[in-house]
Amino acid sequence: MSHTPPAATITLALSKGRIFDEIMPLLAAAGIEVLEDPEKSRKLILPTNRPEVRVVLVRASDVPTYVQYGGADMGVCGKDTLIEHSAEWGGAARSGLYLPLDLQIAKCRVSVAVRTDFDYAQAVKKGSRLKVATKYTAIAREFFASKGVHVDLIKLYGSMELAPLTGMADAIVDLVSTGNTLKANHLMEVERIMDISSHLVVNQAALKLKMAPLRRIIDAFASAIPAAS
């Protein structure tokens, strides 16, 4: 059985969890209802109430890749993910991604955090070389370069909190929402690098080929975006 969709099909790439949960009201505003619960189903392609619209479930960090290569026409991912993806491609435009909307969902911030017993201000003042563990190397590199702080970046794919606790790093650059995860691990936020929310990402070629249906979805999302807070 082939899974290649008919030409008029619109494929939306989403990740499970907070983005999936928070995009549901915007999809509803566009008249789209996902027919299966991704937490219960093992399916990676989910049907919707609209025969021409389907959802593919991918890792959050794979959303820009699926959209760039046309595995999906559009997708939703965090600005953190977009910045890191774009850094690999020399900019969002060069990767063929069009970013029409900040959806104002899945909000958090990217911050620097250290152990509560680490004197970050003093280390920066002294001009010490900092070991920084992060999944967000592009964001971290740019941030510390702009401050003139020398860093050795250690790339991690998860559980950044562990790096300072094991002595592997002096600091981490990670996403923070409530701050509870930092607190539970005896870490503290010492700098806020940037605010993050999720964006709609559209494949530029798909936008030309499927202009009308994609525009309708973009416009419906635009009018249903939660008020900025």
Q: Which residues bind ligand PRT (CB under 6 A)?
A: 15, 17-19, 59-61, 78, 80-81, 106, 108, 174-181, 196, 198
Comparing CB distances to ligand PRT, the nearer of 73 and 174 is: 174
What string of DSSP letters covers the chain? Answer: ---PPPTT-EEEEE-TTHHHHHHHHHHHHTT--BSS-TTT---SEEEBSSTTEEEEE--GGGHHHHHHTTSSSEEEEEHHHHHHHHHHHTSTGGGTEEEEEE---S-EEEEEEEETT--HHHHHHHTPPEEEEES-HHHHHHHHHHHT--EEEEE-SS-TTHHHHTTS-SEEEEEESSSHHHHHTTEEEEEEEEEE-EEEEEEHHHHHHTHHHHHHHHHHHHHHPPPP-
Please state whether beta strands 10-14 and 45-47 pair in parallel, antiparallel, or not at all (unpaired). unpaired
Minimal distance in Å, beta carbon 117 to ligand PRT? 20
Comparing CB distances to ligand PRT, the nearer of 79 and 210 is: 79
Distance, CA of 8 to CA of 209 (rounded, Å): 9
Comparing CB distances to ligand PRT, the nearer of 110 and 210 is: 110
Minimal distance in Å, beta carbon 173 to ligand PRT? 11
Minimal distance in Å, beta carbon 207 to ligand PRT? 23
Minimal distance in Å, beta carbon 157 to ligand PRT? 7
Minimal distance in Å, beta carbon 78 to ligand PRT? 2
Comparing CB distances to ligand PRT, the nearer of 180 and 223 is: 180
Minimal distance in Å, beta carbon 148 to ligand PRT? 27
Comparing CB distances to ligand PRT, the nearer of 111 and 210 is: 111
Comparing CB distances to ligand PRT, the nearer of 65 and 198 is: 198
